[in-house]
A and B are shown apart, each in its own frame.
Chain A
């Protein structure tokens, strides 16, 4: 059974979670060039490595960030958004 640790509810089976996509910083729509905005909307990086991802613990409605190595599928740490320092 694959496990993932919710920072609020603890370690749970992966079936309790929903993947929310890679966490990416949105450029300021008012300031970004068309090409920068288009890159943000349409482009994704598929290169394997350590990435920040959004995950959702469905029973509690908790969104959090997981740092996961997409090559090895190892999760380095998880934390609530804005609480990276506490992880």
Chain B
């Protein structure tokens, strides 16, 4: 029997009646309107959810060596990221790593399905994040209102990531180019997902934007 997991943000999206679909075992919002309305919202201020992507995380002084032995390239500097094939590799601080596959299965799925990491100073980390995306011409204006940092300046180096607070909750934040557009990726504890979704979509709507489904970004 196959169980479909509910997205951590789903009950905050329910009232918008999204078209739902299953991805990597999670039911997630694919569309919030017509393709034309989705495109218009994403261009102005769009908020989407990417929580269904498979993640794998380890930390500890032995994490880098173990991941290297598994064939992973790792960011050289703390608080930076790189893309290996279709997998985001985030280095969180000095010795914690988060791998996240994008739309298709990649290294995170491969490692998650393999044997559990075992070794000295090596600790698996369970991740049940809500993963959100902010896009559009007003994305930085929204972040300026709810984040104490100058996100544009802090992320001027595109491979840098921030661990800070947005709307008073802890997030990991980076900017990424997808389909030729700059967007901002946010990960927070899944239990805060509905709150952050509500805050971001409410602000996006003030700018004429709103929620955008996953299928807008991945056809």
Please report A residues at the B interface, Cβ cutoff 8 Å: 1, 8-9, 12-13, 15-16, 57-62
Interface pair B93/A8, CB less than 8 Å apart: yes
Q: Does B155 contact A (CB under 8 A)?
A: no
Task: List residues of chain A with CB within 8 A of the CB of B93.
Answer: 8-9, 60-62
Closest 4 CB pairs of A and B: A59-B170, A60-B163, A59-B163, A13-B148
Interface pair B78/A59, CB less than 8 Å apart: no
Please report B residues at the A interface, Cβ cutoff 8 Å: 78-79, 92-94, 148-149, 162-165, 168, 170-172
Task: List residues of chain A with CB within 8 A of the CB of B172.
Answer: 59
Q: How far is the CB of A23 from chain B (nearest CB, A)?
A: 20
Number of CB contacts from chain A to chain B under 8 A:
36
Partner of A15, one of B78, B79, B165: B165
Task: List residues of chain B with CB within 8 A of the CB of A8.
Answer: 78-79, 93-94
A-B contact pairs, 29 of them (CB 8 A): A1-B148, A8-B94, A9-B79, A9-B93, A9-B162, A9-B163, A9-B164, A12-B148, A12-B149, A12-B164, A13-B148, A13-B165, A15-B148, A15-B165, A16-B148, A16-B164, A16-B170, A57-B163, A58-B170, A59-B163, A59-B164, A59-B165, A59-B170, A59-B171, A59-B172, A60-B92, A60-B93, A61-B93, A62-B93
CA distance A24 to B34 in the complex (A): 61
Task: List residues of chain B with CB within 8 A of the CB of A59.
Answer: 163-165, 170-172
CA distance A61 to B172 in the complex (A): 12
Task: List residues of chain A with CB within 8 A of the CB of B163.
Answer: 9, 57, 59-60
Task: List 14 additional contacts besides A8-B93, A58-B165; criterion CB under 8 Å.
Answer: A1-B148, A8-B78, A8-B79, A9-B93, A9-B164, A12-B149, A13-B148, A15-B168, A57-B163, A58-B170, A59-B163, A59-B165, A60-B93, A62-B93
